[in-house]
């Protein structure tokens, strides 16, 4: 399960809306407890994909910085997020081909419907498994 603490949901949704027509992407930092993770901060990162309107690729320099900053503050990276500005509320074939972090959660925001869809998956190394996502106040 992935819990989004405080304003994380609002931050991710705002980022997705601001980056239209590009896919927004970022890194979720927080804590884990067994099979559950709580994201306490959403770090926006630059999408360096060749076709950013239909794909995302996290800037590796920014990714390293977020991992180091999280560790410095006794937190950990619990997952990643990206948006589908007009695409489906499901992980795409490209998302499956480029997923690289088994055991991490991937949060997806689809702006194609009203209200926007937000879902979470765990990357197993072979495929995505759907996870529950909750928003905490």
Dihedral sign from CA coordinates of 72, 26, 28, 63? negative
State if pTM tops 0.75: yes
Contact 86, 73 (CB under 8 A): no
Provide the token pair at 58.
């996290």
Domain boundaries, the chain: 2-135
Active-site hit among 23, 68, 97, 129: 23
By three-state DSSP, how is residue 127 classified?
coil
Sheet holding 117-123, edge to edge: 128-131, 117-123, 105-110, 76-84, 25-33, 36-45, 2-4, 133-135
What is the per-residue pLDDT for 88? 79
Residue 129 bears catalytic tag:
no
What is the per-residue pLDDT for 71? 92
pLDDT mean for each 10 residues of the chain (137 residues)? 94 97 97 93 96 94 95 94 89 87 92 88 91 91
- Residue 89 has φ and ψ, to the nearest 5°, of -90, 50
The CATH classification number of 2-135 equals 3.40.140.10
Please provide the DSSP assignment of 10-65 as one string: HHHHHHHHHTTTSPPEEEEEEEEETTEEEEEEEEEE-B--SSTTT---B-HHHHHH
What is the per-residue pLDDT for 134? 93
CB-neighbour burial class of residue 33 (10 A; exposed 0-12, middle 13-18, buried 19+): exposed
What is the per-residue pLDDT for 22? 96
What is the per-residue pLDDT for 95? 86
Contact 57, 49 (CB under 8 A): yes
């Amino acid at each position: 399960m992935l819990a989004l603490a405080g304003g994380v949901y609002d931050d991710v949704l705002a980022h997705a809306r601001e980056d239209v027509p590009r896919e927004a992407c970022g890194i979720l930092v927080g804590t884990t407890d067994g099979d559950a993770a709580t994201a306490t901060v959403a770090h926006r990162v630059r999408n360096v994909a060749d076709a950013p309107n239909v794909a995302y690729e996290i800037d590796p320099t920014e990714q390293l910085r977020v991992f180091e900053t999280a560790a410095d503050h006794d937190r950990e990276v619990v997952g990643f997020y990206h948006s589908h500005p007009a695409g489906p509320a499901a992980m795409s074939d490209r998302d499956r081909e480029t997923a690289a972090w088994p055991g991490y959660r991937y949060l997806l925001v689809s702006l194609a419907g009203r209200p926007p869809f937000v879902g979470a998956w765990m990357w197993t190394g072979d495929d995505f498994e759907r996870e529950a996502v909750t928003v905490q106040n």
